[in-house]
Amino acid sequence: MSEVKVPELAESITEGTISEWLKSVGDQVEKGENIVELETDKVNVEVISEVAGVLTEIKAEEGDTVEVGSVIAVVSDGEAQPASNDAKPEKQEEPSKEDAGKPEATEATEATEATETKEESASSNERIQATPSARRLAREKGIDLSKVKTQAGDVIRPEDVESAAKPQPQAKPAEKSQPAQAKSNDNPSKPVVREKLSRRRQTIAKKLLEVSNNTAMLTTFNEVDMTNVMELRKRKKEKFQEDHNGTRLGFMSFFTKAAVAALKKYPDVNAEIDGTDLVLKQFYDIGIAVSTEEGLVVPIVKDCDKKNFAEIEQDIVDLAVKAKDKKLGLDDMMGGSFTITNGGVFGSLMSTPIINGTQAAILGMHSIVTRPIAIDKDRMENRPMMYIALSYDHRIIDGKQAVGFLKTIKDLIENPEDLLLES
């Protein structure tokens, strides 16, 4: 017998939520096979079985919060066996041979058959693919899982059981509908929908509020003329793609490299406060904010000072794909020293991004918009312009440093040849 425990997740994560059981009680599991998915503050984690055997007990239901180290399931040695009813014919035959004509024997036979029917139903239910919470609901409502139709896929879920448990239209409609309506919608003319926040959305809300309450956050702005970098990208993008196995040359690698150069020039921007100490990070792991259906995540492109443009671009693409496919690991999310977020992909013209965690600052990119710009006192030209923003912790960074940091970003993007020399 082996206990399945919630594994160590990360230094700052002490608990998770059971998102989905991938195996049911009675299922055969192999060593190293995923049996349950946990949702944590940052990523989803699949927990494996350390041994081969049969899943004999589940100690936490889907939606339960479980702490690191707690036992959530038990896997026993052996193999899953089909249900056997070998002994049942003997029980049925005994009364029929000796007391076939007696009422007592008939009653005993009927009772035995009823018991056997229940056993067969329970055995049948065990063989049906259903989530633990669906099985529990079916037991509570006295529903035979073999008669439940699934709405999506082959696994029965709680909503399928609920659907099977719904009465016919003529069966007590007022008893079920009126209390629910009064609870969720007191004013029918003003309809609302109430949904529980996902664990990740709750965590995002909590972290953003902590940053707002625990930092002296300020934002400074500048604007960048994107003409030169756009022309360079236009000239080099096809050759770049050919030389680097299809990797496309985007703007993020330019801004990432510019950020690294600016961080080296202004090291306090690459720092954080730890109690009464200032921790100056001498590595350049840049977080790139990625939007997903469940909210914003910030995977880390590590060692950006040691990587070329192609390596940074490929890392960003890989992390974005993993984020959208919910395949990010904890290692992908840990250890960032500075963050870049690009609201421009959604059409944002200007914003004040919120600092990520304990970091000292975050760079915000925005939409590229063609605007008339004064070239000198006599000339105006339409130029592709981008507003950039630096939100920073004023406890660590002074205004002069923040302005200088942004000015460095601006100068390097407007003169990309200098950026190539810097990197």
- Catalytic positions are 394, 398
Query: What is the 3-state secondary structure of the chain?
Result: CEEEECCCCECCECEEEEEEECCCCCCEECCCCEEEEEECCCCEEEEECCCCEEEEEECCCCCCEEECCCEEEEEECCCCCCCCCCCHHHHHHHHHHHCCCCHHHHHHHHHHHHHHHHHHHHHHHHHCCECHHHHHHHHHHCCCHHHCCCCCCCCECHHHHHHHHCCCCCCCHHHHHHHHHHHHCCCCCCCCCCCCCCHHHHHHHHHHHHHHHHCCEEEEEEEEECHHHHHHHHHHHHHHHHHCCCCCCCCHHHHHHHHHHHHHHCHHHHEEEECCEEEECCCCCEEECEEECCEEECCEECCHHHCCHHHHHHHHHHHHHHHHCCCCCHHHHCCCCEEEEEHHHHCCCCCCCCCCCCCCEEEEECCEEEEEEECCCCCEEEEEEEEEEEEEECCCCCHHHHHHHHHHHHHHHHCHHHHHHHC
